[in-house]
Amino acid sequence: MKILLTYKYDDNKLNKIKELGYDIVYRHENIVFNQEDIDDSDILICYNPFKNLDISKMNNLKLILLSSIGIDQVPIDKVGKDVLVCNNKGGYSVAMGEWIVCKILEIYKDSKYFYEKKKEKKWKINTSLEEITDKTIGFLGTGTIANEAAKRLKSFDCEILGISKSGKQKEYFDEVYNIECLDEFLKKSDVVISCLPSTKETKYILNYSNLSLMKENSIFINISRGDIVKECDLIKLLKENKFKAVALDVFEKEPLDKECELWNFENVYISFHNSWISQLRNERRFNLIYKNLKRFKEKNDLLNVVNLKKGY
């Protein structure tokens, strides 16, 4: 079987795949396009080559292994009915869980203040710092990212809530609500963290009406997808001084426009879709790909098979 690979792994990793009995064709995904030695590939390992690569012309395609958690870049209408799609769920969750904890601590410990005072060489104690202890931390979505963050936050003696479609109780969460209880969940939480996938059901699930139910001086964090929250409504609430702080790693439009008002708020922490980065990301990604290639060869069930209708 032939693999089209759009990310260059080192020779040791490539040899491990070849030892399973696969042939490999490599093309960087920014320049890959349909041609004879590509279109007969059985497996596509990629992030987003779909602007130039028409997978409907790949008649032998049986499996797509994505390096991403989200699948919104995949042209679902061109995925054949017998093609399996697997994502990288869990591959970035540790790094993103740590990022969430980092932002909560940065905000409650007012790190910005100390950075600014250091630049000014000004010694001035800040008496406004807060503890996470006894806070209520709410996760919108209880998947692997929320799970890794919740596991780490348990040691801070805070209450951890979750909200999901099913409302199924999970380890590390004190209580998990059904999505129908969103308003109650928002009212209770001191910190709300969006970890939801982007689907038809979740687009703009957070808006002015329900975000305004959050506590005064609360914190909102988004590490999932920018279209989970209506950005103009978030900006409106920031102007009304609703939040202690907001930490955003994702946006409706990326890169974020220079003219966007979000840049201008002192209490908005902006990173650049960067929360998934760590020194272990490539190792975890390859290990999952390798496991699935081995399973596929042995005709065993694959890991992280995506339900294309649900979008995750």
Active-site residues: which are they?
A: 225, 254, 273
**Dihedrals φ, ψ of 69, to 5°?**
-80, -50
User: Are 145 and 96 in contact, with CB atoms under 8 Å apart?
Assistant: yes
User: Are 155 and 148 in contact, with CB atoms under 8 Å apart?
Assistant: no
Residue 213 burial class via C-beta count within 10 angstroms: exposed 0-12, middle 13-18, buried 19 and up: middle
Q: How is residue 255 annotated by DSSP?
A: S
User: Are 235 and 243 in contact, with CB atoms under 8 Å apart?
Assistant: no
The CA-based angle 53-276-43, given to 5 degrees, is 30
* Listed residue (268, 260, 205, 264) closest to 242, CA to CA: 268
Q: How is residue 301 annotated by DSSP?
A: P
Say how many CA atoms lie within 13 Å of 113 toward its Cβ. 12
Q: For residue 284, what are the CA distances in angstroms to 7, 94, 162?
A: 14, 10, 26
* Listed residue (48, 24, 51) closest to 38, CA to CA: 24
Residue 128 burial class via C-beta count within 10 angstroms: exposed 0-12, middle 13-18, buried 19 and up: exposed
